[in-house]
A and B are shown apart, each in its own frame.
Chain A
C-alpha cells in the first residue's frame, strides 16, 4: 500500500515536473529573448546630451586631428556635451566651407573650425556668429572674423625652437666634418675645412602651404630666421628657403616633396610644418637614399614620426599637447555660452622630441593610442 502510495506520488511529481519545466522554459525563454532584443536595440550610446558642438578639420583621418578631437570629445563628455567630428559619416567629402554651412544650418551649439584667412571663411564665421553660434578657430586662425576665440600653438615660439634645432644640426655637422677632416689629413690645420664650409652654406628648406593665406606660417618662418640670425656663429652660413607645397588636393603634397629631391639642389635640412609633410619627407628621404645627408625637423609625434626619430631619419619633432588643444576649444565655447565672452587666445603646450627622449614618447604614445 505504501509502495503504491509512493508510486502515485512519483507519478504526480513527474507530472508536476513536466509542467514546471515547460512553464520555466517558456518564462526564461521569453525573458532571455526580451533582454537580448532589448540589448540589441540599444546598441551604442543612447545618452542624451544637452549641447552639441561640431569640429571641422582638414583631414579627419590625420592622427593629429584625431588626437585633438579626442581631447575635445573627452572634455565635452565631462560637461554633457557631444563633440562631433563633422563630415565623418557623410557619403560625400565636403569642403570645410560646406561643412560650416551645414553646421550653421543644423543649428549646432558651437563650431570648432580649422580656419584660414580666406574671405569666405570670414563670411561663414560671421554668419554663424550672427546666428548665435560661437565659433572657435583651431590651429589656424581667421583674425578678421567674429570668432569668439582662437586655440593654437605659439607659432613664433615654435619657429624659434626650429631655429635652435637648425643650429644644433649645423653644430653637429661641423664637428663631424672636423673630426672627419682631422682623421684624413692627420692633424693638419682646420682652416681649409673652414674655408670649404664657408663656401658651402647649410641649406635649410621650410615646406609651407602654398594656399595658406594665414600669417602663422610667416610668423613661424620669421621665428626660425630670427633665431638663426641671432644665435649663429660668425662663421656659420645658413641659407633658408621657403618651398611651397601644394596641399590643395589629396596627393599633391607627396608629389611636391619629391620634386625637391628631383632637383640638383637638395637641401640639408627640411623643416616640415604639419604631420603629412613630415611623413612624406621622411619617406622620400628614405626612398632617395639620403638618410644622414638630409635632416628632417618634423611636426607632431605620430608613431611613424617617432619611429623615424628612433631610426635617425628625422632629427627632431615637436610634440603638441593635442588633448589640451581639444579641451581648450570646448572650454572656450562653454565659457562663451556661460559668460558671453571668452579669452581670445589659447595656446597649447609644445615640447621637443629628439633621439634622446623619443623612447619615452614611444612608450607614452603607445599607451595613448591604446
Chain B
C-alpha cells in the first residue's frame, strides 16, 4: 500500500486525499441522515394510532348509520351498504389488540373488540328481526345495539383521547431527543471534520515536505554551498523525480568543480615551477654578470691576447689565453641553455687548465667517462661550480698534491656524474646543510664565479623534476669528498626525440 502510495503521481495523491476526506464526510452524513430519517419515521408513527382509531370510529358509524338507514327505509342498497360496512368494521376490529396488559390502551382495545363483537351480533339480530318483520323484537334489539354503539364510541373516543395525550407526550420527548440528536450530529460532524482536516494537513505536509527540503537545498546551492546533504528520493512522484534530478545535478557539479580544482592546481604548480626556474636562472645570471662584468669584452680581449701570443711564438701563453677565452665564452654562450654532459666536461677541462696554470699545476685532474652518456642533456653551469668548490674548499686547504676525479657512468637508466677530490672532506653536518640549501658559506671568495651549491641543487631539481639529484659523500677528515649527480636518461632522450 505504501509503495503504491509513494508511486502515485502528485495529482493522484491530492485526488486521493480529497476523495478520502469527502467520502468520510459523506459516510458520516449518510449515517446521520439515516438516523434523522428513522427519527422522523418514529415521529410519524406517533399519530398513526390516532389515524387508525379515527378510521375505526368512522367504520363503526358506517355500520350504525347503514343499519339505521335499513331499519327506516329497508332498501336493498342500505342492506348492501350495511353488509359492506359490517365487513370493513369487523376486519378493523380484528386488528385491535385483544390481550389484557398493564397498558390501559391495550385493555381498552380489548374491550372495544369484545363489545364490537356483541354489537355486531346485536346489529345482525336487529337486521334479521327487521327482515322477519318482527317489529317488537327489532325495536328492542335496535335500542340494545344503539346502547352498545354508544359505549363503543365512547371507548374509541376515550382511547383516541388517551392515545393523543400519550402521543403528545411522546412527541415532546421525541422532539427533545431530536434536538439532542441534532446536537450530537453536529458534534460528530465537527469531530470528523477536525480529523479530516488533521489528516489533510498531515498528508499535504507529507507530500510537500520533500519539496520544501528540496527548496531549502536549492537555496543553499544558489548561495554557493555545494556541501549539502543530499535528500533521499522517497517517492516516485514528480517531486521524487525532481529530487533525483537535483541530486544528480549537485553530484555532477561537485565532480566538475573537483576536476577543475585539480587541473587548476596542476597548472598552478607548473606555473610556480616555471617561475622558480626563471627566478633561479635570473639569480645565476645576475651573479655571472656581477662576476664577469663584460665577458664579451673580456673574452675578445683575451682572444686578442691569444693572437698576440701566437704571433710572438709564445705557445704556452697562447694556449692559456685560448683556454680562458673558451671558458668565458662558454659562460656567455651557454648561460641559459640546456647543454650536454660533454660540453660541461669541456668547461671543467678549461677551468682546471686555468687553475693549473695559475697554481702551477698542482691539481691532478682525471676523467673516467662512459662515452655513451656524453650526449645526455643537463642544465649548464653545474659541474664547474662543483669543481670550483672542490678546489676552493677541498684541495686548497690541504697540503700535498690535489687530485680530482670526474667519472660519468650509468646505473640502470640514470647517468651519474661523480666529482671526487682528495681534499679535507666534509663533516656530516655540513653535507646535510649543503644539501638542504641552508649552508651559506662566505661566498664570493677569490676565484669563485659566484654560483653557490644551493643554486646548483635548485636548478638540478627543477630540471629533473625530482628531489633526488645529488649526494655528497665524505668519509671523514682529509679523506676527500665525492659529489654525485643523478640524471634521468630516458626522459631526456624521450624529450630529445
**A interface vs B, CB < 8 Å?**
4, 7-8, 11, 14-15, 17-18, 21-22, 25-26, 29-30, 33, 36-37, 40, 43-52, 82, 84, 88-92, 94, 98, 101-102, 105-108
Contact = CB atoms under 8 A, between A and B. Distances in A.
Contacts of A50: 100
Interface stretch (B196-204, B252-260, B295-303, B460-468): B196-204
A101 B101 contact: no
Contact of B154 (A40, A49, A91): A91
Contacts of A22: 24, 27-28, 192
Interface in B425-453: none
A102 B111 contact: yes
Contacts, number: 112
Contact of B173 (A40, A107, A108): A40
Contact of B158 (A17, A25, A82, A90): A90
Contacts of B38: 33, 37
B75 interface: no
Given A21-B191, A36-B177, A46 B184 contact: no
Given A90-B154, A101-B147, 12 more contacts: A14-B202, A18-B196, A22-B24, A25-B28, A29-B188, A37-B38, A43-B170, A48-B100, A82-B101, A102-B115, A106-B111, A107-B114
Contacts of B196: 18
Interface residues of B, number: 51
Interface stretch (B102-110, B238-246, B473-481): B102-110
Contacts of B100: 48-52, 82
B117 to A, nearest CB: 8
Contacts of B206: 7, 11
**6 smallest beta-carbon distances between A and B, as pairs:** A45-B102, A106-B111, A52-B100, A105-B115, A44-B103, A91-B158
B148 interface: yes
A89 B164 CA distance: 13
Contacts of B94: none
Interface string B256-288: 000000000000000000000000000000000
A46 B105 CA distance: 10
Contacts of A108: 111
Contacts of B154: 90-92, 94
B192 A21 contact: yes
10 contacts: A21-B195, A22-B24, A33-B39, A43-B166, A45-B101, A47-B102, A84-B107, A90-B154, A91-B157, A107-B114
A91 B177 CA distance: 31
Given A8-B2, A52-B110, A105 B151 contact: yes
A48 B99 contact: yes
Contact of B107 (A26, A52, A105): A52
A91 B150 CA distance: 12
B31 A18 contact: no
Contacts of A47: 101-102
Contact of B101 (A14, A43, A49, A89): A49
B155 interface: yes
B90 to A, nearest CB: 16
A25 B203 CA distance: 24
B361 interface: no
A84 B198 CA distance: 62
Contacts of B458: none
B174 interface: yes
Contacts of A8: 2
Interface string B11-44: 0000000000000100110010001001100100
B275 to A, nearest CB: 53
Contacts of A102: 111, 115, 151, 155
